[in-house]
Amino acid sequence: MLDGAPVAYGRRVIGRHYLRAEVAACDRAVAKERRQLVCGDALDPPLIQGMFDRVVALNVLDSVRQPRQLLSVVDGLCAPNGELILASPYTWQSTVMEDHERIGGADPAIDVATILREGRELGARYRIEDEADVPWTLRRDARSTVSYRVHSLRARKL
């Protein structure tokens, strides 16, 4: 896709039945010298601290064993005055993390925003610039979807 070519994959129709599908190419190819794909542990990424003007963690916070550590990691990667973008449905699962690792109670969005504003357990404080609940639908197969309300937050490092 980054080379400007479509990518084919097997899209689940139902049960164990798949059909060929294709993801369209990017509108324009991204020059090889301007891109780098890195695979690593979200809680210990192989990246340089404090050098990114924008750090994005979409639907990751409730998918790691220590969500507070993830907040610390993204804070560490974010440059001074950098932008942090987080989104999560907060669908905490005991198979992923222990109950005591979960952030907040009935509305984790409030606690995540408070942690960022106050800089609690982080290296800096953040100004929340935008915050909303947005719909997110995952397609399981042709007859099954799962719908979420995802808390989306954009913040500036102070």
Report the amino acid identity of residue 69: Q
Confidence of residue 16 (pLDDT cuts 50, 70, 90): very high
Q: Please give the structure tokens belonging to residue 51.
A: 């050098």
Tokens 């397609």 found at? 139
C-beta separation of 21 from 43 below 8 A: no
Asked whether the predicted pLDDT for residue 28 surpasses 80, the reply is: no
Query: What are the residue ranges spanned by the domains of the chain?
Result: 1-34, 38-157
Q: What is the CATH number of domain 38-157?
A: 3.40.50.150
Q: Which residues contact 48 (CB under 8 A, 6 or more apart)?
A: none
Can you give the pTM of this predicted structure?
A: 0.86
> Of 82, 90, 130, 83, nearest to 106 (Cα)?
90
